Structure 1
Amino acid sequence: MTAPLELPGWTHTYSGKVRDLYVPADLPAGGEPDRMLVVASDRVSSFDVLLEPPIPGKGELLTTLTLWWFDRLAGGDGGPGIPNHLIPDAEIPAAVRGRAMVVRALRMLPIECVVRGYLTGSGWGEYQASQTVCGIHLPDGLRNGDRLPAPIFTPAYKAPQGAHDENISFERTVELVGVEHAERIRTLSLQIYERGAATADARGLILADTKFEFGVDADGVVTLADEVLTADSSRYWDAAAWAAGQTPAERMASFDKQIVRDWLAAHWSREGEPPTLPADVVERTAARYRELIERLAG
């Protein structure tokens, strides 16, 4: 991973697989920031490892789509306003303009709020073994890629850096964050998914599943944070391909890094250093990210 940028007025404090976080440079030692700068990089990861080279333009596309969704979910789509942590019209350093947001600092809840509207991914594997997804019993006879009778909330515990997230029950969520916050993030997650799925459907897309993160602000309000309904946090499929497809690959033509996952699975044993991504894999992945935002937001 390349060293984080030095940005005027900001001090780098953390780097994840994709995002870099900064706090105000004038923050006193040991002080708690009231705002942060979130910078989305072009880095790409799969199977919990960072890969080379990055996907050109990915950070800007993710940020653009998150801002578009924040606006719609705040009431721009005609629905009730859902609070988010964005500070509108904040000054962004020139070096990261277009791929960064200034946001309010929150007390983040350690829950990855996953909503599934279709059966796929790890859910499909569990269903084959036990006819459940995260312990939720589902009807028999479902196929990989089938629509579920209703969207389901399947939370995960966000493990400390370096460890794997863990699928958990709603009861465990209550133990971790309390009943009030657990019920609130479940309600908000399902509402946001339904609104996102309706928007996608109107544009010939399927929102198969997605994940959200929430924090609590200084007034105790549960607030949507991080990215939302992007290609990195969601599975979007082409609706026409899904309807006509006879195989899972044909039905689930996704607008994310599935191209990277498929290539890596075929060329790496998950031991040692992963191979460098070929140019055509990088180019095709970048094209799918661009196509998604064009179809959703124009």
Structure 2
Amino acid sequence: MSAAGHKLLNQGKVRHTYSVPDLPYLMLSVATDRISINDFVLGSTIEKKGAVLTSTTVHWLISELTGISHHLVAYGTAIDKFLLPGAKKDPDLRSRTLVVRKLDMFDLECVGRGYITGSMYKEYRRIGFDQTGGMLWGHLLPPGLKDGSELPEAIFTPTTKAQTGHDEPLDWREVRKKYGLDPEMLTLHYYTIASRYARARGIILADTKFEFGTHGERALVLGDEVLTPDSSRFWDAGSYSESIEKGKTPTSHDKQYVRDYGKGIKTPFSDGKGAAIVGIGNLDPANPEHQQFVGSLTLPPEVSERTTGIYLGIHDKLTGRHLPAFA
């Protein structure tokens, strides 16, 4: 995926950014169809995924999180006036590209959680807090929580933004000392708005990630993707209670399906005890050999097709429409 003639500024796991001629304070953010899990990029792509991420982000910023400071400048057909002639009037590029303000981004990922799952639940169990309760990542958690249990209140669980390896949890109190109250307050405010909106449409927003930066002013600006199935966990509200009672993770409408598929991948690597490593999540993203192996993997067609269906489905539920066409 490229923007013809535009200079590539950065190539991320899923997004490429490009320069905008004569407007150095702007850039093109192009969402590809690549998919990453456990900080690895797989060798397969997911059809229409980039368009889903772009359209979903636009929906939240334009329709629901109104009145906030964000980086979005143009989308859809409106991006053409920022493009070089060779890139104009391209329906595919219009579907997956945002024109955004460049921000001085915080070296921080701001996670809002209303439910315990994923890495937090794994650590909760490992320490034994499921039996005793205790202080985890700066939050006092009660005993007896199951995977997917609703927390007493939404919490702020920031992480590092690692260039290599895994993101690591940060204590919110240390983040508050360094960045002030705004990242925490805005994260929980936006999470609450989005959670209520999603719940009214039969979806539970278990957790989500926001990223903030500044643009020549003191106030924070919301950047990157917003409340997408890549950056969030969306669960089916109708089957939630039954799933928790049975000790099952709730039905997801995000990339958890691919994460679950990755748990069964047999790798050619061994751990420190000589045992074969099974599961992409048990590999080290800072290890080039592990990265090369995962990058060579292709998803079975049925997994790719189902993932496309999941992404299109949650997009339609949240936005109330199908993907727009930009012919």
Distance verdict in 2 for CA 1:19–1:286, change over 3 Å: same
Distance in 1, Cα, partners of 2:308 & 2:246: 25
Per the alignment, residue 164 of structure 1 pairs with: 166
Superposed CA RMSD in Å reads 1.8
Letter matched to residue 20 of structure 2: P
Equivalenced residue count is 278
Distance in 2, Cα, partners of 1:285 & 1:123: 24
Select 1:100's aligned residue among 97, 119, 128. Answer: 97
Distance in 2, Cα, partners of 1:74 & 1:114: 17
Per the alignment, residue 247 of structure 1 pairs with: 246
Per the alignment, residue 42 of structure 1 pairs with: 33
SS in 2 for 1:37: strand
Greater relative contact order, per chain length (Cα 8 Å cut-off, separation 6+): 2
Percent identity for Structure 1 against Structure 2: 40
C-alpha displacement at 1:247, in angstroms? 3.1
C-alpha displacement at 1:13, in angstroms? 1.2
Q: How does 1:108-187 map to 2 (within 5 A)?
A: 108-128=105-125, 129=127, 130=129, 131=133, 132-159=135-162, 161-177=163-179, 179=180, 183-187=181-185
Distance in 2, Cα, partners of 1:186 & 1:205: 24
Deviations 1:219-276 (A, max 9, x none): 2221111111100000000001102223343x51111111211111112334541332
Shifted more, 239-248 versus 43-52: the winner is 239-248
C-alpha displacement at 1:26, in angstroms? 4.6
Q: TM-score, normalised by structure 2?
A: 0.80
Distance in 2, Cα, partners of 1:261 & 1:289: 14
Distance verdict in 2 for CA 1:191–1:60, change over 3 Å: same
Per the alignment, residue 194 of structure 1 pairs with: 192
Letter matched to residue 40 of structure 1: A
Shifted more, 229-238 versus 264-273: the winner is 264-273
C-alpha displacement at 1:53, in angstroms? 1.5
SS in 2 for 1:114: strand
C-alpha displacement at 1:175, in angstroms? 4.6
Letter matched to residue 7 of structure 1: A
Per the alignment, residue 277 of structure 1 pairs with: 299
* Contact 2:110-2:156 at 8 Å conserved across structures: yes
- Which consecutive unaligned segments of at least 5 residues does structure 1 have? 28-32, 76-80
- Displacement over 4 Å in runs of 4+: none
Q: TM-score, normalised by structure 1?
A: 0.88
